[in-house]
Amino acid sequence: MHRIAVLTSGGDSPGMNPAIRAVTRTALHAGCEVFGVYRGYAGLIQNDMRRLEYKDVGGIIQRGGTMLLTARSPEFMTPAGREKAMENLRWHGIEGLVVIGGDGSLRGAAALTAEHGLPTICLPGTIDNDMYGTDMSIGADTALNTVLEAIDKIKDTASSHQRAFIIETMGRHSGYLALMGGLAGGAEAILIPEIPDTTIEDVVEVIKRSFRKGKTNCVIVAAEGAHLNAQTIQDQINQIDAEESGFSFSFRTRATILGHIQRGGSPSAFDRTLATRLGSGAVEFLLSGKNGGLVGMQSRKLTVTPYDEVLANPKVLDAKLYELSKILDRY
């Protein structure tokens, strides 16, 4: 294999640039030419790619986002779109493809391999940390620290006003950011889609119990995919009569939706080193003939998990951590 391409797809995550850097420089060191594809799979279809050299990836290790840009591509989801992408790859003489992104990006790579025999390999680039086959995904640690910083700051204003705040994290169907952020931030309650048994009455009781214990604030963290999101909790609790609910008007709730701030920012040391190891490992696997899977870090070792295994197995959160958060809030 003498010529490979690299692209980033789907939602951006801190650490994608260090991964691009590692892929490029490891491949060049091995005597392989590297092409960067701009705007993900859309760039493949539009033939938006150019050759990368050492200097092209200099000074990006500390930058958030992705220098290759990213985009959604409905056209690539069609067989005709993928055929067009392959025509462009063949025209450039590309013999292998490294894809950095989430599960949707992985499905695209798997389709190219299954339908056209193109050797592909994926890196887990998503703040959700919801991909089977790796302990951590690129960007999750940085996003988690952003969540924790927000919790700490909101606690200050919550104490000043003696109010309850609901903080909503990203994560779609994954509660990783909410669970770990809430645990590290000392949240009084955590709502995640994996455990949908918390009712609005439970949340009210958490708030009442917090102020009965003399706390000056109450912080509840909810994942965006939880059955009760931040706005729903705020609206329902604020409709409850103050006397009936047992807390004064001062303790009415406020919702803070963190949103895309969790995706931005300079990647943490952990994400930089993880992305570097995964990016370098992906090239080594690809050049050695090992492809068609997700490169992950499991128990501190680089692994490649086949696409069908990744797609067939949901990543499971540690339920013991959720129970621990409930124990710590009670006393």
Q: Which two tokens stand for residue 184?
A: 């590290």
Q: Is 155 annotated as a binding residue?
A: yes
Q: Is 31 annotated as a binding residue?
A: no
Note the residue count of the chain: 331
Q: Is 184 annotated as a binding residue?
A: no
Rounded to 5 degrees, what angle do the CA atoms 212, 327, 160 make? 40
Q: Is 51 annotated as a binding residue?
A: no
Q: Is 217 annotated as a binding residue?
A: yes
Q: Is 104 annotated as a binding residue?
A: yes
Q: Is 21 annotated as a binding residue?
A: yes
Cβ-in-10-Å burial (0-12, 13-18, 19+) of 270 comes to middle
DSSP letters spanning 129-179: ---TT-SS-BTHHHHHHHHHHHHHHHHHHHHHHT-EEEEEE--TT--HHHH
- What is the spatial distance between Cα 8 and Cα 48, in angstroms, rounded to a whole number? 13
Q: Is 170 annotated as a binding residue?
A: yes
Q: Is 9 annotated as a binding residue?
A: no
- What is the spatial distance between Cα 30 and Cα 32, in angstroms, rounded to a whole number? 6
Q: Is 164 annotated as a binding residue?
A: no
Chain-centre distance for alpha carbon 15: 11
The set of residues, in sequence order, having a beta carbon less than 8 Å from that of 193 and lying 6+ positions away, is 171, 173, 174, 175, 223, 225, 226, 227
DSSP letters spanning 303-314: EEEEHHHHHHSP
Q: Is 126 annotated as a binding residue?
A: yes
Reduce the DSSP state of residue 258 to 3 states and report it.
coil
- What is the spatial distance between Cα 108 and Cα 97, in angstroms, rounded to a whole number? 11
Q: Is 50 annotated as a binding residue?
A: no
Residues acting as catalytic residues: 128
CA dihedral 54, 58, 63, 67 (to 10 degrees): -40
Q: Is 153 annotated as a binding residue?
A: no
Instruction: Name which of 231, 204, 236 is nearest 218 in CA terms.
Output: 204
Q: Is 45 annotated as a binding residue?
A: no
Q: Is 261 annotated as a binding residue?
A: yes
Q: Is 318 annotated as a binding residue?
A: no
Q: Indicate the annotated binding residues for ADP.
A: 21-25, 155, 186-188, 213, 215-217
Q: Indicate the annotated binding residues for ATP.
A: 11, 72-73, 102-105
Q: Indicate the annotated binding residues.
A: 11, 21-25, 72-73, 102-105, 126-128, 155, 163, 170-172, 186-188, 213, 215-217, 224, 254, 260-263
Q: Indicate the annotated binding residues for Mg(2+).
A: 103
Q: Indicate the annotated binding residues for substrate.
A: 126-128, 163, 170-172, 224, 254, 260-263
